[in-house]
Structure 1
Amino acid sequence: MPGAFINTFRLARAGFVLAQHGVRFVPKGVPVPLPLRIARAATVPIRLIAAPFRADEPPATRVATALTELGPSYVKLGQFLATRADIIGSELSADLRHLQDKADPFSMAEAREAVERALGGKLEDHFVEFGPPVAAASIAQVHKAYVMVDGVKKPVAVKILRPNIEKRFRRDLDSYYFAARMIERYYEPARRLKPVAVVDNLKHTTELEMDLRLEAAAISEMAGNIKEDEGFRVPDVDWKRTAKRVLTVEWIDGTPISHVNALKAKGFDTDALGLAVLRTFLRHAMRDGFFHADMHQGNLFVDDAGVIVAVDFGIMGRLGLAERRFLAEILHGLITRDYHRAAVIHFEAGYVPPHHKVEEFAQAMRAIGEPIHGRTAEEISMADLLGQLFAYTDVFDMQTRPELILLQKSMVIVEGVARDLDPGINVWTAAEPVAREWIDNNLSLLGRLQETGRGAAAIGDVLLRTPGLLQKAEQAILGLAEMARSGVRLDDETREKIASGSKRNRATDVALWIAALSLVAIALKLYGAL
């Protein structure tokens, strides 16, 4: 691993490029550790000698341009930091949203070599035609090619990793880790923001992105998840022509979703498309726990049937059951103004330390939620909500949850796509049915029992394997509900049922009723806690 001197030099170079573009690379109010002060100081003489300040550059695009100049790993870092207003400030976070993952293409000779090395043989053994790149990004580029299928020439998209991209990322990630550790070591308030964990997450996602077999698997998994859904699909994977550094999928002929006027000219309802984009994303995140984490306009098309088709599955997000519950209940709580419930979920999920009071956090949630209900649809923004939530992270000692970083980023991107299609879309009204459906399906009695883990699973297994036990449990629940409504009573009819029941195998009944009532007790306890 490179030493402090080499990493300081690399950071100095990055600081120089940022300084050229007028970008502050350490947020205001954050003490700068000595190695980073050296890096910043090193940019001054270099800047004075080598290059002037680019005063004519629009302020909003300076940081995006600088990171693009620094290279692919900085583009990825910028995309991550765009969601972290709590670390870099709201102004810089907004500027980073201008960052586009575009790069100059590498040569056809390098593309040919990559294909032949990955798939074996000659390029012509796999493709009857192979065209120039049609898109180039920081990690890979895409070519349009043709294959023969049952005697028919079929178009495909071939994605190829950039030469030596893994080596470049490893080198820059060393510098990121160095800077993150220095910040955590010398600036204690930043520790709760977990800068090293942010770099860990960046490292993990880029490693996944640089194995195209995993991208193929992600497409296949999502295809299975959405096979019953309407209005959204993914390309078919050509596994025969896919390897670690080469991915071949169905070529998508469709209208880019950013071409709103063209979509309208073809007779498509762009308002409905905007609603479909938003609800599709939320359904994938909450129902499946597996979502496209880079659903920007360049990765979405509308085919001739009006179906939305997503491409580029290099960045995917996963949410566990606890995170999905958190997302669904937070959305539902804000939409329905149940701020206390939304606050309780934060504590149950461990996002707010227990030494704080639920009531105080509910008050903060109310401060965020109430303005939503007093504004027009055009003014309601998930991005604004996330910014306000970040503002409270320091007050309530909230720890960064790396598993939610991609979700936060993706929600902002998807909201932007939906608003371009329908500027008047009310994202909260659109989200409510999806959140409610998840709650109804997963937080029912059986859903709550499943959340208790293996113990409840074991009880459920016993219930399913023991004839009559689940029915007895249901009867017990209904009986208790009736008692709650009417009070406890012991009339002639009840006494007769007890007497007739005494003629059966008492040992069996006692065992069944103990198990059934134990289940009822667990269910009522869970229900009362929610």
Structure 2
Amino acid sequence: MLRSPLMLWRLLRIARTLARHDALAAVEKTGVAPTLTALLRWLVPRRRDGRPGEKLARAFVALGPSFIKLGQFLATRADLIGEEMSADLSELQDRLAPFPAAAARAAIADELGAPLEELFVRFEDVPVSAASIAQVHFAITRPRDSQDPEDGAREVAVKVLRPQVEEKLERDLQLLYWLARLAERTEPRLRRFRPVAVVAEFERVAKTEMDLRLEAAAANELAENFAEDDSYRVPAVDWERTGRRVLTMARISGIRMDDRAALLAAGHDLPDVLEKAAAIFFHQVFRDGFFHGDQHPGNMFVDDDGSIVAVDFGIMGRLDRATRALLADMLLATLRRDYRRLAEVQAQAGFLPPGQPLDLYAQSLRAVCEPIFGQPLERISFARLLGQLLQLTESFQMPVQPQLVLLQKNMLMAEGVSRRLDSDLNIWLLAEPLIAQWVRAHRGPAARALHGAEEVAQTLNRLPQLARRAEDALDLLSQDRRGERQGEASSYGNGRASGAGFWLSLVALVVALAALLD
């Protein structure tokens, strides 16, 4: 049951907002509460223009920060909502009216344990941006160990969480969990989408974004990964002025990545900018397995030196070594139009369930991918291609790979920026030589031999531990046998203990050999 009349009232207000923006189509598709949705359509005046995804995006903006974040999260789950709605929600603008500067000043002083005047020489009350969970103010730091305000003062950007945003998220999560459980209980056809698990994943993502210390740590790690690379810059974190609800970083300047006219006017070489972007994407994904998860143009800039500068590190992605190797093999097979190899790679990774015909799957991949080759980039719809691939996975009963969903979203963003800057260049072809080099270094015979040698060495290091465990097991077994067989002939007991010791030693040897040969 609903926990309180307030939650019921909240649910009715949400339904009314959805109806006002004519966004009930998404609810109607689920088949949940058809009578209520029909009544709301009849009673509430509606704004009718736009596609279903655009209407839903407008409704989420009206519902506030939690639902804006929910919309951005759903935009990464085309497997759940379809490619058209996913594309529409990807355009969801994360901009809200700013909250008062007095509240920002109070939050900073409370979080950092010092009056604002002790932390900053100047703090601009008008925020430079105001998003769903936080807003950003420019400021100049005050050095604490100097009487001279200009000695060591630095220009910074200060990000502050919205007042009570955590409490509002908790309230909205309670409602979302209730609706998800209701859907799983009453609508069997929705269970395969695992609504409760989807809400849990959204909760994890949203709460990570609301701890600004985690964003600071992510920025710091990304900066370390590119410490020797001048083509990519991450603003330095001011740890002294950073906490759970406040993040202070060096102020950056530059031109938005998608502002073609401004980049040309500043004298930047657009193919050079795209080549750097391709290399940065490759290094984050393949070299480091740690990538910026929200690389839309508003978070990417080009500075005066032609370096690419990133901001906003609340959403980050990670890929383990095995997934990176798989992704490299898949990208190379796709770029080389080797669909049999592409099918084999996915089958070896366990993506293609047993019993599904490999040849037919390779043929289906060809049917989906081949039409995109040879066409001008401006005529290719990668959102449509992604939708077709998702339909293909459903046809072959393939599970969706969640670790690649965020990466797919960022690939689409990168393609969009690439098209706006130079429609004659394909950003993935620019990255192909780097991917091929990485594959040779990490997937070739020499790399496999080295990896195998490392595994053998690790197993050999574990052998003494295995031997000690076998010895302990023998001691325990000998003690048990003495207790059970006390009074029996000693020769009989020793024979049984020796037999057990033989079998335990044999098992230990088999385990060790299996680990060595695996």
What is the TM-score when the length of structure 2 is the normalising length?
0.81
Counterpart amino acid of 2:87? Answer: A
Partner residue in 1 for 2:83: 90
Map 1:349-498 onto structure 2 (within 5 A).
349-445=349-445, 447-448=447-448, 455-456=455-456, 458=458
Preserved CA contact (<8 Å) 1:198 1:402: no
Amino acid at match of 1:372: I
Helix, strand or coil at the partner of 2:291:
strand
**1:58–1:390 Cα change, 3 Å:** closer
In the alignment, is residue 130 of structure 1 matched against residue 151 of structure 2?
Answer: no
1:235 is paired with a residue whose SS is coil
Is the Cα contact below 8 Å between 1:260 and 1:421 reproduced in 2?
Answer: yes
Match of 1:62 in 2: 55
Match of 1:348?
348
- Which SS does the other structure have where 1:394 is aligned? helix
Q: What is the identity, as a one-letter code, of the residue corresponding to 1:421? A: L
Tell me the secondary structure at the aligned position of residue 129 of structure 1: strand
SS in 1 for 2:397: coil
* Residue-by-residue CA offset, 1:257-278 (whole Å, 9 max, x unaligned): 2322111001001233234324
The aligned residue for residue 494 of structure 2 is: none
In the alignment, residue 353 of structure 1 is paired with which amino acid? P
Do the aligned partners of residues 4 and 188 (structure 1) sit closer, same or farther apart at CA in structure 2, a change above 3 Å counting?
farther
> Is contact 1:289-1:319 (8 Å) kept?
yes
Give the fraction of aligned pairs with identical amino acids, expressed as a percent: 44
Aligned to 1:108: 101
Please say which of residues 389-398 and 78-87 is displaced more in the overlay: 78-87
Q: What SS class does the counterpart of residue 163 from structure 1 fall into?
A: coil
Cα drift, residue 405 of structure 1: 2.4
- Where in structure 2 are the equivalents of 1:8-407 lying within 5 Å? 10-26=10-26, 30-32=29-31, 36-37=32-33, 41-45=35-39, 48-49=42-43, 51-55=44-48, 61-131=54-124, 132-148=126-142, 151-188=151-188, 190-407=190-407
Deviation string for 1:471-490 (max 9, x for gaps)? xxxxxxxxxxxxxxxxxxxx
Number of matched residues?
A: 460
Q: Which amino acid in the other structure matches residue 403 of structure 1?
A: Q
In the aligned structure 1, how far is the partner of 2:321 from the partner of 2:242? Answer: 32
- Which moved further from structure 2: 356-365 or 113-122? 356-365
1:324 shift after superposition: 1.4
Contact 1:192 1:398 (8 Å CA) reproduced: no
State the alpha-carbon separation in 1 of the partners of residues 110 and 426 from structure 2: 50
How many angstroms does 1:136 deviate by? 0.5
* One-letter amino acid matched to 2:88: D
Which string of whole-angstrom CA distances, capped at 9 and with x for unpartnered residues, describes residues 246-297 of structure 1? Answer: 0000000222223221110010012332343244223312221111111111
Asked if structure 1 preserves the Cα contact closer than 8 Å seen for 2:16 and 2:40, the reply is yes
Distance 2:123 2:283 in 1: 37
Do the aligned residues in 2 keep the contact of 1:292 with 1:316 (CA within 8 Å)? yes
The one-character-per-residue Cα deviations of 1:27-65 (angstroms, maximum 9, x if unpaired) are 77x552xxx31xx5435555655x411135687732221
Q: Who is 1:472 aligned against?
A: none
Higher mean alpha-carbon deviation, 425-434 vs 321-330, is at 425-434
Cα displacement string for residues 296-334 of structure 1 (whole angstroms, at most 9, x for unaligned residues): 111111111111100010111111122212221111111
For the residues of structure 2 that align with 1:198 and 1:441, how far apart are their CA atoms?
37
Preserved CA contact (<8 Å) 1:380 1:427? no
Q: Distance in 1 between matches of 2:230 and 2:368?
A: 34
Contact 1:159 1:247 in 2 (8 A): yes
Between 410-419 and 189-198, report the one with greater CA deviation. Answer: 189-198
Q: Cα gap change, 1:386/1:341 in structure 2, threshold over 3 Å: closer, same or farther?
A: same
On the 8 A contact 1:302/1:308 being kept in 2, the answer is yes
Equivalent position amino acid for 1:319 in 2: L
| Aligned-pair CA distance for 1:449 | 5.4
State whether residues 30 and 190 of structure 2, in contact with CA within 8 Å, keep that contact through their aligned partners in structure 1: no
Aligned letter for 1:143? H
- Kept in 2, the 8 Å contact 1:27–1:89? The answer is no
Distance 1:420 1:3 in 2: 50
**Secondary structure at 2:137 match in 1:** strand
- Cα deviation digits, residues 123-152 of structure 1 (max 9, x gap): 011011100211010011000000145704
Residues 285, 319 of structure 2: 8 Å contact kept: yes
1:190 CA drift (Å): 4.3
Aligned AA for 1:160?
V
Whether the 8 Å contact between 2:2 and 2:178 is mirrored in structure 1 is no
SS of match in other structure, 2:263: helix
Where structure 2 has 5 or more consecutive residues not aligned to the other structure, the ranges are 144-149, 463-512
- Of 128-137 and 451-460, deviating more is 451-460
In 2, the alpha carbon distance for the partners of 1:110 and 1:339 equals: 57
What is the CA RMSD across the aligned residues, in angstroms? 3.0
Cα distance in 1, alignment partners of residues 160 and 290 from structure 2: 24
Report the secondary structure of 1:208's partner residue. helix
Mapped to 1, the partners of 2:54 and 2:279 lie a distance apart of 30
Specify the alignment match of 1:483 in structure 2: none
Displacement of 1:11 in angstroms is: 4.3
Asked if the contact 2:82/2:387 (under 8 Å) is kept, the reply is no
Change in 2 beyond 3 A, CA 1:57/1:406: closer
Question: Separation in 2 of the partners of 1:410 and 1:115?
Answer: 32
CA apart distance, 1:381:
4.9
Q: 2:24, 2:37 within 8 Å by CA — same for their partners in 1? A: no
> Deviation string for 1:190-236 (max 9, x for gaps)?
44444333322221111111111111110110111112334111101
